[in-house]
Amino acid sequence: MFRRVFSTVIPEHARKVIHKGLPKKLAITGVDNIVMVSSAKGGVGKSTIAVNLAIALSRLKAPNQVGLLDSDVFGPSVPELMGVSGIQPNANDRKQIIPIQNYGIKCMSIGSLIKKDSAVVWRGLMVMRAVQTLLRQVAWGPLNTLVVDTPPGTGDVHLSLIQNVPIRGSVVVTTSHPLSLSDTRRGIEMLLKLNVPLLGVVENMAKFVCPSCKFTTPLWCAADSTEESGAAKLADQYEIPLLCQIPFEPNVSDGKEKGIPVVISHPTSFTATTFVELACQIDNLL
């Protein structure tokens, strides 16, 4: 009986499915590059980095040449960070969703398609369909770069993105907290298994900047330590660059609550200039 149940003989129809392999990746019409911003750990500032990176990249390009896709179906935050919360998109004559624009960025999120504060309670298949809608039924083009803010974890959203569109590379976000580094390793391993190029690591909240005297203090190691940060060691482990270390500046973070990214609200701050440097590095890698 067990021999029959656990037979290693593959039925003919299953053999045909296996030979077909994964769905062929199709580019999004009019989009030259797709860049993921990812981290398996939540709460590391991934969405904030995606928003500011997109705006900084747009400064290097012609207007409206950079898009921002919020693929976090269960916890979309891009509408609030981009100052477009409560604005619903329109459709064009081809029944495509027209992305909402602000700060010279075309952006779209599931949060712009549902009522504010409503909970999304969907199974995996519905999540994957939602991602497909955001990818294929939005009039993204023409774009030089589409920045995709991904949810924490290693689930359906990541698989749907990676298996359906050509990802030029992923920016991996982490802090140097041990729990963040542990989860980030899992995220990197997923990206490697799925053959997604790693553009590098961004260490967020690397240092605290005193709003009065501008003195900086490392957040996750002793102030007098000469050791590399945990994020730097992680980058060394996987032989990828540590792209930048973004500080925590309390006086320049207040704009987030008003939907004004730091590169707009405090363009001369150390945090904003770090984002500009990050954008230049990403642009050179594409």
In 3-state terms, what secondary structure has residue 236?
A: helix
Average pLDDT of the residues in 75-89: 93
The domain that holds 53 is classified in CATH as 3.40.50.300
Q: pLDDT band for 17, please (50, 70, 90 cuts).
A: very low
Tell me, yes or no, whether 9 lies in a domain. Answer: no
Q: Where are the beta strands (DSSP E) in 110-218?
A: 143-149, 169-174, 198-203, 207-209, 216-218
Q: Which of 183, 178, 185 is nearest to 238 (CA)?
A: 185
Q: Name the pTM for this structure.
A: 0.88
Q: CA 267, CA 269: separation in Å to the nearest integer? A: 6
Tell me, yes or no, whether 153 lies in a domain. Answer: yes
Is residue 242 within a helix (H) or strand (E), and if so which, with residue range? strand 242-245
In the chain, the largest separation of any two C-alpha atoms, in whole Å, equals: 76
Say if strands 216-218 and 207-209 run parallel, antiparallel, or are unpaired: antiparallel
Burial of 75 (0-12, 13-18, 19+ CB in 10 A): middle
Tell me, yes or no, whether 255 lies in a domain. Answer: yes
Q: pLDDT band for 128, please (50, 70, 90 cuts).
A: confident
Residue 151's domain comprises 28-285
Overall number of domains in the chain: 1
Tell me, yes or no, whether 189 lies in a domain. Answer: yes
Tell me, yes or no, whether 11 lies in a domain. Answer: no
Q: CA 172, CA 202: separation in Å to the nearest integer? A: 6
For residues 18 and 224, the answer to whether their CB atoms sit within 8 Å is: no
Tell me, yes or no, whether 8 lies in a domain. Answer: no
Please tell me the predicted confidence (pLDDT) of residue 208: 81
- Given a cut of 80, whether residue 6 has pLDDT beyond it is no
Q: pLDDT band for 18, please (50, 70, 90 cuts).
A: very low
Tell me, yes or no, whether 17 lies in a domain. Answer: no
Neighbours of 211 (CB within 10 A): 10
Terminal C-alpha separation, the chain: 56
Q: Which of 78, 52, 61 is nearest to 271 (CA)?
A: 52
Tell me, yes or no, whether 1 lies in a domain. Answer: no
Residues in the chain: 286
